[in-house]
Amino acid sequence: MIIEQANFVKSSTIDNAWREVMWLCVKKGYDFLVKGGSYQGQIRKQLDKVTIEIIEPYSRPLSPILPPSIPSPTSEDKISTYFAKYIFSDVKSENEVYTYGEFIIKQFDRIIDLLITSKGNTNQATICIGNEETTFLDDPPCLRSISFKVVNNKLNMCVYFRSWDLYAGLPENLGGLQLLKELVLDNINCELDVKDGSIIAFSDGLHLYDQYFQIVDCLNTDKIAVGSVALEDKRIFLENNGI
């Protein structure tokens, strides 16, 4: 289900949600020239707000299923590696300033305790990504919060991304976060009998980079159109910055 006026997508799986949100972004996204942070000089199609509800995010495969002619943004192995290295590890590579895992691991036991002691009846089981120092980073974390709630005996996860790469990032991010939800479920079901539930994702900066426009056009009947103002703005920006 897609409600265009509200930028809302409700879908069964991560794969289906990814495809439907891409269509929504192609149709309703606005032109955004990146002038700071990552990917300077690229034009993005961006949604100013979007809500995605995935009813069965645990359905396998977690990664998108694409024809051989189209490169997939991720795979089951890549999602597992992403979870192990970035979602549930506090080890940083030499060139990494942070990982989501360094924030998640510090709060994980507390989340489990909150859910168990309340018997799932709590609004407090939320992991915060980042702190007062990350605001001053050149590239602050995109994922900012992960909230767990038991609703109708199902463990739901709500996540917020301040900025979100729709083509390459969303499937791997949500696949890794689903693995985190399953780990939480394993830990609380020693005391509770809770089933796996939905993922509800929010972003006020979900976008498609122009490096993926050609691939996205192959997956959609509607094609991406960039306005002349954005194209001229890009030309001037690249010229002035020697990019």
- What are the pLDDT digits (tens) for 225-242? 999 999 999 999 999 987
Burial of 209 from C-beta contacts in 10 A (0-12 / 13-18 / 19+): buried
Sheet holding 43-47, edge to edge: 30-33, 43-47, 206-209, 164-165
- CB contact at 8 A, 150 and 191: no
- What are the pLDDT digits (tens) for 24-76? 999 999 999 999 877 889 999 999 999 999 999 999 999 999 988 898 999 99
CATH code for the domain in which residue 33 is found: 3.30.572.10
Buried b (16+ CB within 10 A) or exposed e, 191-201: ebebebbbbbb
Range of the domain at 193: 2-241
- What are the pLDDT digits (tens) for 125-145? 999 999 999 999 988 999 999
pLDDT score of 94 more than 90: no
DSSP 150: E
DSSP 123: S
Tell which residue, 74, 100, 103, 106, has the closest CA to residue 87.
100
When pLDDT is cut at 50, 70 and 90, the band that residue 177 belongs to is very high
Say which residues have a Cβ less than 8 Å from residue 229's Cβ, sequence separation at least 6. 31
Which tokens sit at 195? Answer: 């089933």
Domain count, the chain: 1
